[in-house]
Structure 1
């Protein structure tokens, strides 16, 4: 564990693990002062950091084997936590369902104050209008005729990516494992599968309308019609709002993996962390590497400086993130409990935590001075 000189800093790093949450502050994104574990023995599969409106609110998706799942929130960098007495996310009685896990917490744009999205298991999408204190089930997706045919990924049935469009409040994309990418153009009232070009080689029809196991999707910062997807074998880009997808895997050592990140300001820049294969879930040649493209997937470059080798643990879909600083910071954690930070978009990494439980989720933010 790397410690800074004091507990203050301009940067926040949140690390959710199989057995608790760690929160770190830093002045340089290399030396951190951490607190934790918060919620010891709770699984933390999702974190949202909401810096809108001049405050920093941390939202943590918790899962306790005894108390079950919920969303807790802190407005003082983890000193105190609050959660609704009856749970932030509760299925209506008529659904016959109960919450298993909160896979994704996604604050909306600055213009949509108070709006926070959640993706959950069983496969469902939820919307909050009070900053993540209470969420309402999106019935359009829950009642979708495809829902009974969606399968569970290896880690569970997950609506793991929720991407509200920054330019159109009526457009939202969701990625489901295993169901594929769905888009709503009417503020969530209805949803259409948008997977043309994404392979599902494990199905009788390798290019079905839906059923793909998309692992993660990220949106371009300037053109909302451009997105990137890491699939269960396959790396893709769409230029037309997910109507069609094109392979951009050429140049990577493997097309399997879980993470997909895009730059906060610069179009064409994205990062993936390849895994050898679904049947051999280690980094290729047991050498951990982040791969970055600066030309929208036409070419890729391996970034390894500061990463300890060999490495036999993988990086899960939400165990990697970027911040909004200049240059952008890149952060990720492994299933072996090591957390790396880069203050220069992946050119150089520093190990900032080690010997943690499985890292499930990493989020970073720039704090107001």
Structure 2
């Protein structure tokens, strides 16, 4: 029976949970206690497991550490894995995203950071280089900070070198030339908080995901708005009908089956709680045409939000779904969200969760 690893990054450290059936879990002691862990990447390409952790110390600042022995030991580059070139005059504030590329590019890992920037590693996450095409973009001076900061929080590598990035605030940008040039791709996404007609960029997109079967199909959870694109981000249409709210942070896509996505709605930007004070995951199996509300095993009374990276899926069969709350509760489903069990309770504020079936 395969072992599933669940990494839980919180405001005050990292916890690792393992399970043979994704219903009963064994939880580790905390790693990096009292250190913020806003991002986790689990790379299982090539038959090995590498944990990459974006940590942020109030004293030492942010960096990326990695482990090749499931957290028994951790390695950190002497000069830091991510550091702005001197000519930029910038410093990394937080590492929001660590995303391994496809099996066809086994050494490539992407990072999204604050201030808004994207970084590429070609050595499995040992070191990262700044993507100058995005950093030097003429729009950068007009990108703003969302409530949580100025973040490049979603990096979606696709086929043929295409990469989509989403940021708060700035919206969705796409490159098709390995990051040399980037174009905004926000047509149809609301920016109701800005005056005048919808702008070319400046949207506060909270999370994006790519369809497993059709790589040109994308999904987005916006700052009010849930969307699908069928043309690689060139245009977006609403798929919020059937949801109790169009606000939230989570957008997850099935790793193998096209058209299946999950969201976790919140009431509104001014009321960031689950509708009715009851935590619920919503799943669509038809690319957003209809939604099912899934609550079995989730608490009937919950007033904490689920943040954008505090939810994930694994590659199991059926697919596992995981959510963590700002109240420190973590829930796991071994059946694509039909039923949930509790992995951990009373942890610090959950910032990110990542799961993988170990090779």
Query: Normalised by the shorter chain, which TM-score bucket?
Result: over 0.9
1:1-369 to 2 correspondences below 5 Å:
10-165=3-158, 167-169=159-161, 171-368=162-359
Q: Is the 8 A contact 2:6 2:355 kept in 1?
A: yes
4+ runs of 1 displaced by more than 3 Å? Answer: none
Distance in 1 (CA, whole Å) between partners of 2:58 and 2:78 is 18
Distance in 2 (CA, whole Å) between partners of 1:261 and 1:40 is 28
Deviation per CA, 1:180-229: give whole Å up to 9, x if none.
00000111000000000000000013511000000000000111100100
Distance in 2 (CA, whole Å) between partners of 1:280 and 1:206 is 26
Deviation per CA, 1:19-61: give whole Å up to 9, x if none.
0000011100111112121000110000000001110000000
Distance in 2 (CA, whole Å) between partners of 1:205 and 1:14 is 43
Q: Is the 8 A contact 1:9 1:25 kept in 2?
A: no
SS at match of 1:285: helix
Deviation per CA, 1:290-342: give whole Å up to 9, x if none.
00000110000100000012100000000000000100000010000000000
Distance in 2 (CA, whole Å) between partners of 1:41 and 1:94 is 33
SS at match of 2:164: strand
Partner of 1:3: none
Distance in 2 (CA, whole Å) between partners of 1:208 and 1:30 is 46
SS at match of 1:131: coil
SS at match of 1:53: helix
Distance in 1 (CA, whole Å) between partners of 2:133 and 2:79 is 24
Distance in 2 (CA, whole Å) between partners of 1:269 and 1:341 is 18
User: Shift in Å at residue 233 of structure 1?
Assistant: 0.1
Distance in 2 (CA, whole Å) between partners of 1:318 and 1:35 is 21
Q: Is the 8 A contact 2:222 2:249 kept in 1?
A: yes
SS at match of 1:228: strand
Q: Is the 8 A contact 2:2 2:357 kept in 1?
A: no
User: Shift in Å at residue 9 of structure 1?
Assistant: 6.0
User: Shift in Å at residue 151 of structure 1?
Assistant: 0.4
User: Shift in Å at residue 122 of structure 1?
Assistant: 0.5
SS at match of 1:161: strand
Partner of 1:5: none
Q: Is the 8 A contact 1:199 1:206 kept in 2?
A: no
Deviation per CA, 1:145-188: give whole Å up to 9, x if none.
000000000000000000010x212x110001000000001110
Distance in 1 (CA, whole Å) between partners of 2:187 and 2:339 is 37
Partner of 1:4: none
How many equivalent residue pairs? 359
